[in-house]
A and B are shown apart, each in its own frame.
Chain A
Amino acid sequence: MLETYRGTYFHPRTQFITIDTSGNVLESDNVLFALKKGDDISSVSGFFEGLASYFDANEDNDIKFTCIHLENKEQREYTCDIEFKTFANDQPALVIIHDFSDHYKYYQEVAQSRNESVINSQILELKNKYLKEKEDFKNTFIANFSHELRNPLTGVTAFCSVLQKTDMTLEQQDYVEVIKSSADHLKNMIGDILEVSKIEVGKLSLNEELFDFHELIEMLEFTYSVKAKQKNIEFEIEFDEKIPRYIESDKTRIKQVLENLIENALKFTLSGKITVSIKQNQRRARKVNLNISVQDTGIGIPEEKLEVIFNSFTQLNNAQKFIGTGLGLSIVKGLVELLEGKITVESKVKAGSTFKININLKYPINQESTSLERKSDIERKNYLSKEKYNILLAEDSELAQMAVLKILAQEGNFFLDIITNGEDVIESVIHNEYDLILMDIRMPGTHGDELTKMIRSLPVQNCKTIPILALTANLYDTDKKRYKKMGMTDIIEKPFDESTLLKKIYKYLK
């Protein structure tokens, strides 16, 4: 029976060929390739031409080749393993061709799918890398450019404050108010662009502090009730009193998120009501989970646009009455994610929108024994111990020098020395006893942060403790860390106005 089966199912797939020393066929069983005596073996395939130098090897040798593609005269393709044997004692060389086409066909399919998948993933990786590089370049460019715009704005905003305190006609006062409000608007827009580009390149980090959350909400309620009233819109905050009073998080960023959402609601609501709801969801392991929502009865967002509203520079309504950079919601989303929260939006056209945030905030367990320094920085001036303070201003920009001089002169509490060159700063610090130093960073000669490091190492009495405040628009985290490392006490961000400058100065004077 076995023989019957073999006769039915066994098809020999191996060809034996003997050749002479010139590669001519002596014998062949022609199982795969039709060859007659005297044919050149190379007529089967160029493969055998590569072996020509071994045809006359009069020695025992066995060379094996796997997965060789050969074609017969009818152009049928075989994928074969080939053995080439030579022998000592003048025996003719033997070529054995094994047809493994079926096996290799399967292998081909596996290799095809594997290689395609590897190549596609490499291409995808490259595309992602390219897109990321492009995005990073754009964001860094925007960040640098916005930063450069902030410097000249310092002059505009600071001098507006100074100018407002001079004798002016009512008409002139109106003009200054317009300049100031335009400069503030420009400053906010540049700030937004800078913020969004920082978020997108991951250069924004949180600055956690302990703060009074209830007080923050009360302040927002007060501010926005007034603003809403001016627009004849109702404004209400539903606040859950169970929420811990003291929270440990980035107050500035939380405030910014809430302000941006409320401002957004105010902007797009022409009548009706804005309701802010802040509810405690649960408390667990020193963390309180909050559900925050800002609901308006504004113009609403079409369903198909809901996905893009958090993208940068997305202004759905291009009508003139809704001005802005279109960055507010993009910043909100970036900040909420930085705070490890989640933001969603529901909206109906002409009915209004609801922005919902779910967020975890840390809080100190013992709320009763927590207290905050409540004295504002500007109030400190009433508690100062000296009549006059010596302040050194190291700044090369004449505009900034004049701004600081004018602001401090109005206060009447200060003697101001101005130095425009990095090298002269050290000399002046050695020979004068200053109470505070205002230090520009990009000074000609030696930079302000380097000068600070040098001052801190001077063997002069108060050099280790004297407050040194940086005046700068370079505010990346890496910059801030460097200023701190160099010994700077705090930073005054450019562009600054009168109140910012004075608050910081009074904060550090004794």
Chain B
Amino acid sequence: MKKASKKIILLGHFGVGKSSLIRQFVENTFTSDYKVTIGVHILKKEVEISPDETISLIIWDLEGYDDIKKTRASYLLGTHGFIYVFDVTRPATFENLENDIAYLTDQYANTPLKVVGNKADLVTKTYLKENKDMFGVAPDFFTSAKTGDKVDDMFTALAKELVK
């Protein structure tokens, strides 16, 4: 069985639930207590992307910034994929989404990227449908780290793109 290691990075404002998404994905747990991430935590999880192919995701959980350009350059070295997370309930976390995504696609043109609106459990599906233009960029997934909704799907979708 083939097994590759791929480094992915979660970016986005503080408090959007990056660490919670990773914890839900890796450990299937969730806590509503907010603990600020400083610097970077690194977790690993093996993901089966096909019956005969498994990928080892090295997930870098980065400290949240209100400006993506403030991210320390060394953290981004050798990154195979990005997940940009925002909080669907806090406009401050997505008001710069369009520019941030433009910056990433410009600087890392060939690196796969998923845009994720988290905390979807706090709003209705109708709200997300009716307000999707409000985010500036159409998100690839609306997730809930709390309920686990679409969390595995999101990481697996990115993993599959990494081996293409």
A residues adjacent to B (C-beta < 8 A): 45-47, 49-54, 63-69, 79, 104, 107-108, 111-112, 115-116, 118-119, 122-123, 126
CA of A346 to CA of B38 in the docked complex: distance in angstroms? 56
What residue in chain A is nearest B72 (Cβ atoms)?
A66
For the complex formed, measure the closest distance between the CB of A282 and the CB atoms of chain B, giving whole angstroms.
49
Given contact pairs A65-B75, A122-B90, A122-B92, A52 touches B5 in the complex (Cβ within 8 A): yes
- Please indicate the chain A residues that have their CB under 8 angstroms from the CB of B60 in the complex: 50
What residue in chain A is nearest B89 (Cβ atoms)?
A126
For the complex formed, measure the closest distance between the CB of A33 and the CB atoms of chain B, giving whole angstroms.
15
B1 is an interface residue with CB less than 8 A from chain A: no
Interface residues in B74-120 (C-beta closer than 8 Å to A): 74-75, 77-78, 89-92
CA of A123 to CA of B90 in the docked complex: distance in angstroms? 7
For the complex formed, measure the closest distance between the CB of A115 and the CB atoms of chain B, giving whole angstroms.
5
Assess the A64–B39 pair: CB atoms within 8 A: no
B35 is an interface residue with CB less than 8 A from chain A: yes
For the complex formed, measure the closest distance between the CB of B123 and the CB atoms of chain A, giving whole angstroms.
12
What residue in chain A is nearest B35 (Cβ atoms)?
A112
- Please indicate the chain B residues that have their CB under 8 angstroms from the CB of A107 in the complex: 38
- Please indicate the chain A residues that have their CB under 8 angstroms from the CB of B134 in the complex: none
CA of A126 to CA of B95 in the docked complex: distance in angstroms? 14
- Please indicate the chain A residues that have their CB under 8 angstroms from the CB of B7 in the complex: 49-50
Among the interface residues B39, B44, B64, B89, which one has the most CB atoms of the partner chain A within 10 A?
B39
CA of A62 to CA of B14 in the docked complex: distance in angstroms? 29
Extra pairs beyond A49-B44, A69-B39 (15, CB < 8 Å): A45-B42, A47-B40, A50-B42, A67-B39, A67-B63, A79-B39, A108-B38, A111-B63, A112-B35, A112-B36, A115-B34, A119-B15, A122-B92, A123-B90, A126-B91
For the complex formed, measure the closest distance between the CB of B33 and the CB atoms of chain A, giving whole angstroms.
11
B125 is an interface residue with CB less than 8 A from chain A: no
What residue in chain B is nearest A65 (Cβ atoms)?
B74
Interface residues in B21-51 (C-beta closer than 8 Å to A): 34-36, 38-44
Assess the A46–B90 pair: CB atoms within 8 A: no
Q: List 7 A-B contacts (CB under 8 A).
A: A45-B42, A49-B58, A50-B77, A52-B5, A65-B72, A67-B39, A118-B15
For the complex formed, measure the closest distance between the CB of A507 and the CB atoms of chain B, giving whole angstroms.
52
- Please indicate the chain B residues that have their CB under 8 angstroms from the CB of A47 in the complex: 40, 42
Assess the A46–B75 pair: CB atoms within 8 A: no
Assess the A46–B78 pair: CB atoms within 8 A: no
- Please indicate the chain B residues that have their CB under 8 angstroms from the CB of A104 in the complex: 38-39
Assess the A66–B39 pair: CB atoms within 8 A: yes
Given contact pairs A49-B7, A69-B41, A115 touches B58 in the complex (Cβ within 8 A): no
Assess the A68–B58 pair: CB atoms within 8 A: no
Among the interface residues A51, A104, A119, which one has the most CB atoms of the partner chain B within 10 A?
A119
For the complex formed, measure the closest distance between the CB of A498 and the CB atoms of chain B, giving whole angstroms.
51
For the complex formed, measure the closest distance between the CB of B110 and the CB atoms of chain A, giving whole angstroms.
16
CA of A68 to CA of B15 in the docked complex: distance in angstroms? 19
- Please indicate the chain A residues that have their CB under 8 angstroms from the CB of B15 in the complex: 115, 118-119
CA of A122 to CA of B66 in the docked complex: distance in angstroms? 13
For the complex formed, measure the closest distance between the CB of A113 and the CB atoms of chain B, giving whole angstroms.
9
Assess the B38–A67 pair: CB atoms within 8 A: yes
**Top 6 closest A-B pairs, CB basis?**
A67-B39, A50-B7, A46-B44, A46-B58, A112-B36, A46-B42
Assess the A67–B77 pair: CB atoms within 8 A: no
CA of A112 to CA of B35 in the docked complex: distance in angstroms? 7
